[in-house]
Structure 1
């Protein structure tokens, strides 16, 4: 039976990548776990199959407070991984908790297929940025080697030894003080109520960002509708394919400015939410550990309610954005001039899809803490 202090590794990968590799990704996880046990004589519990109930149960147990230097998250990075909503959600969730505990080293990405975005100076994709800032393991060439080759086995050993070293390095790390962007500087470590007050100031104006983003989406939708109407008129006049192609080029030029605005808003949104995530998770952990005095119940409940309400707004907006993203499939096939525009729009939409994962994790922790401390829902 797995305990919360035993070393463990959670593998995150797409099943299609493993199918393409004929099971080599899963076998790599097992080989590393076996090598770890051979080196240390301690079992390394590896969680591979997310369909297995143990994966989800242990993930929830460990992600909140039992990372404590012994729980690794090992995402297998590929182009398909970056397109997977589930994989993106897992890495964002883990990173927030790990940073709040000062244990970023426990994120150990394995680059399996080449991802060109990792070479960008300042990746706009927040998941790519998180991987790029870590010392990821490059397996792009080793995946072409035989699994029983000396080079392959040496690298398996090296990775297992690296896990041992990280565990030793992080064993004595204490959780850092809870930090929030733009919070007031003070020589005294603030209490949980002061942190909540700081958080209300530090929480960016997401409602305003979402409103601006929605307005931009509506503007783009109106321009696309107008272009479709003009295309119908062109067809009626016998303009044919040449007429449609001309209108598509004009539409691409017409959308350049609002799509750029859309991209900037998405970047602003994701940067803010990733920045404040560790601080909020730290606050939730403090509330859970310290409890709430009678005088603080109202403030804590109200603070939790604000976050729940903002999360619900985000959820509703994401549902609308998903419908909008689906509507982009047609225009992306019209001409080459539209493809970079559609690609940029999808990237901007992804920021908000990722944000939903963070909001969902905040709500999960709020619900857990509220239930354990018997807190009412704030109004």
Structure 2
């Protein structure tokens, strides 16, 4: 697969947001690209339409070839963006690769519609946290300006100039050493096997979180089943809708504890996966670049298998959680008292969906590297 080596930006947004804005989001992408070319005399290749096969081909090629200091990911942050599993997956994938190479500045979020969570001192949403820690561009007022107004054009120029500045700054960036959490006792320059051992030791911790999460899920299921029995008994006594309402309100109160614990576990899980993501991607890239020897081939295969098995367990759990979440449509419509609880449960599920996106990327890269190095 061939790829352009020139400056490029991958535009990530929801099509509905662009429809609401009557195409202004797509036009903004092209205006920035045109301004960049005017400043530098170099073309800025902007990838806008994810339905175009070229977007996907270039995306995979650039992140797999260790990116470069001129490949940007520009997410258009809106409330709808944060609800889009596809958009969340893209930003998590890019950030993992960028951090593994010390190129975090290549993530350039544009805040298009206000997102109140960004003002939280410690956002629980991992994607919101990633955006908050970057120097995002606030476009919430500029989107109301005429596209030909001086203020709008000045900010387009400012953003294009920032791209140029980042490219110049990152031109000589050397990839950081591959590190993983809790490896303080490792040598200053650990080798491939030490790094794989550190990553392997992190996996059981995630399995424990998943076990605890399933325990909370079991408790919630039992309480829901009990409420259903009570409703049936109330109906038999002629309790009517008032009886059902009382039981539903009690169920909402009973679920707050386990749902709060579920939310906390989800936060811990996604934060841990995202934190270790750059290290695992760095290990995979190290294996790809250094190759394997007769001495370490078996250890590499074993590490890849551990990651794949853990990923398979994650996907299985997420599928089960998704089925459970889908079953909540009925209770959510019974009483408004249930809506906040179910909303929080769905938010907890999103944390595990984010983790699945990271695991899927590891699995994809491992499959490609294993085939290339004949490690199957």
How far off is 1:187 after superposition?
4.7
Q: Does 1:131 align with 2:135?
A: no
Separation (CA, whole Å) in 1 of partners of 2:331 and 2:89 = 28
Q: Find out whether 1:336 has 2:336 as its counterpart.
A: yes
Residue 222 of structure 1 is matched in structure 2 by 222
**3-state SS of the aligned residue for 1:205?**
helix
Count of aligned residue pairs for this structure pair: 376
CA-CA distance at 1:206 after TM superposition? 1.9
Aligned match of 1:168: 168
Q: 1:186 offset after TM fit, Å?
A: 4.2
Structure 2 partner of 1:368: 368
Say whether the 8 Å CA contact 2:3–2:62 is kept in structure 1: no
Corresponding residue of 1:297: 297
Q: 1:70-81, aligned counterparts within 5 Å?
A: 70-81=70-81
Q: Which residue of 1 aligns with 2:153?
A: 153
How much is the aligned-residue C-alpha RMSD, in angstroms?
Answer: 1.3
Distance 2:228 2:63 in 1: 48
Asked if structure 2 preserves the Cα contact closer than 8 Å seen for 1:270 and 1:352, the reply is yes
The answer for the alignment partner of 1:98 in structure 2 is 98
Question: Once the 2 structures are TM-superposed, how far is the Cα of residue 202 of structure 1 from its aligned partner?
Answer: 3.2
3-state SS, counterpart of residue 42 of structure 1:
coil
Is the CA contact (8 Å cut-off) linking 1:77 and 1:110 kept in structure 2?
yes
Preserved contact between residue 203 and residue 310 of structure 2 (Cα < 8 Å): no
SS, match of residue 11 in structure 1:
strand
Equivalent-residue separation in structure 1 for 2:324 and 2:148 (angstroms): 48
Structure 2's unaligned 5+ residue stretches are none
| Contact preservation (8 Å) 2:3, 2:61 | no
Residue 177 of structure 1 corresponds to 177
Conserved? CA contact 1:5–1:66, under 8 Å: no
Q: Tell me what 1:26 maps to.
A: 26
Deviation at 1:210, TM superposition (A): 1.3
Residue 83 of structure 1 is matched in structure 2 by: 83
Q: Aligned partners of 1:350, 1:113: CA distance in 2, in Å?
A: 21
Aligned residue for 2:10, secondary structure, equals strand
Query: 2:186–2:194: 8 Å Cα contact kept in structure 1?
Result: no
Equivalent pair of 1:112/1:143 in contact (CA under 8 Å): yes
Which residues of structure 1 form unaligned runs of 5+? none
The 1-side partners of 2:98 and 2:87 are apart by 17
Range moving further from structure 2, 218-227 or 168-177: 218-227
Equivalent pair of 1:267/1:348 in contact (CA under 8 Å): yes
Which residue of the partner structure matches residue 312 of structure 1?
Answer: 312
TM-superposed CA distance for 1:204, in Å, is: 4.7
Q: What TM-score does the superposition give when structure 1 sets the normalisation length?
A: 0.97
Q: How many Å separate the matches in 1 of 2:202 and 2:269?
A: 13
Q: Which residue of 2 aligns with 1:64?
A: 64
- Name the TM-score, length of structure 2 as normaliser: 0.97
CA distance in 1, matches of 2:195, 2:14: 38
How far apart are the structure 2 equivalents of 1:61 and 1:121? 36
In structure 2, distance between residues paired with 1:261 and 1:308: 28
Distance 1:2 1:46 in 2: 17
Conserved 8 A contact 2:101-2:176 = yes
Give the C-alpha shift of residue 185 in structure 1: 3.1
Equivalent position of 2:5 in the other structure: 5
- Match of 1:253, SS state, is helix
Give the SS at the match of 2:72. Answer: strand
Cα distance in 2 for partners of 1:85, 1:237 equals 45
